[in-house]
Amino acid sequence: MMLRVASSFVPTRAVAEEVVQDTWLGVVRGIECFEGRSSLRTWLLRILVNRARTAGVKERRNVAIGSWEPAVGPARFHGSGAWADPPVRWDDEVADRLAAGALASTIRTALASLPVLQREVVALRDVDGLTSREVCDVLDISEGHQRVLLHRGRSRLRQSLETELGRT
């Protein structure tokens, strides 16, 4: 999990591995400073995110700004904001492990295509199973911002999967 989180901030796996190693060194050196105000996992991931962000800035001097286009086309909603045609459940149609494996690859690709903060929030919540509060603590964001990023990330992910799987 630490390697995956670090990889979302830095350009290469090698740099992500260095960040994870540096995080463990920081934990060993600073464990006596742990005050227990959060879980040990949250504290550890917060250290990781801080170190990964620093390494990411050093490694990648130019960061592309995400597009300002909506996550899902406005034609998919009524004027009230509700879905015009609710997304079709596709998870029940996965018949066997081969199809599930191919689907997992598609999901990983779609997740990697999300803007950085959306990808981080979706991955921490839906892949790593952190709570909303833990994600806010790890990424140092507000509850509201976390909810918006999670909604937009999940919406883009769903749109990408529907497009990839040939469903609308």
pLDDT-based confidence at residue 38 (cuts at 50, 70, 90): confident
SS (H, E, C) the chain: CHHHHHHCCCCCHHHHHHHHHHHHHHHHHHHHHCCCCCCHHHHHHHHHHHHHHHHHHHHCCCCCCCCCCCCCCHHHECCCCCECCCCCCCHHHCCCHHHHHHHHHHHHHHHHCCCHHHHHHHHHHHHCCCCHHHHHHHHCCCHHHHHHHHHHHHHHHHHHHHHHCCCC
38-42, 54-58, 91-95, 161-165: which has the highest mean pLDDT?
A: 38-42
User: In whole numbers, what is the pLDDT of the chain averaged over residues?
Assistant: 82
pTM as predicted: 0.58
Task: List, in order of start, the domains of the chain with CATH numbers.
Answer: 2-59 (no CATH), 85-164 (1.10.10.10)
CA distance 121 to 8: 11
> Which pLDDT value is given to residue 57?
75
The answer to whether the CB of 9 falls within 8 A of the CB of 49 is yes
- What's the farthest any 2 CA atoms get from each other in the chain? 55
